[in-house]
Amino acid sequence: MAISLEEVYKIAHLCRLEFNEEEAKVLTEELSKILDYFKKLQTVNTENVAPTFHTLKVKTPFREDEVKEFPYIEDILKNAPQLYERMIIVPKVVKTP
């Protein structure tokens, strides 16, 4: 299943990524190969295979949430460029269109 160059650019835009034309062409080929592999997987007979969430039968250990004081918090806060109460202020990293 081939994916078009336009689709790669659309996905890149949604992911907030930028590629030059050569990189986009390489990604087009690689994504097409991945989709071809998924198409091949769809032909596998899974009729008698029980659904699983994990390959190993492992019980998830649950525990109660506990608030614990971090012992080195004052040392970390000393290095922060800007604080609000006991929180580190960082610049916004998400661009808006």
pLDDT attached to residue 48: 87
What are the structural domain ranges in the chain?
5-41
Residue 24's pLDDT band (cuts 50, 70, 90): very high
Structure confidence by residue, pLDDT tens digits, 66-77: 888 889 988 989
Q: Does 14 have pLDDT greater than 90? A: yes
The torsion region of residue 16 among left (phi > 0), alpha (psi -120 to 50) and beta comes to left
Q: Does 25 have pLDDT greater than 90? A: yes
Query: Could you tell me how many residues make up the chain?
Result: 97
Q: Does 20 have pLDDT greater than 90? A: yes
Residues contacting 77, CB < 8 A, separation 6+? 83, 86, 88
The whole-number average pLDDT for the span 14-27 is 93
Query: How many Å from the N-terminal Cα to the C-terminal Cα in the chain?
Result: 31
**Are 89 and 83 in contact, with CB atoms under 8 Å apart?**
yes
CATH 1.10.20 fits 5-41, yes or no: yes
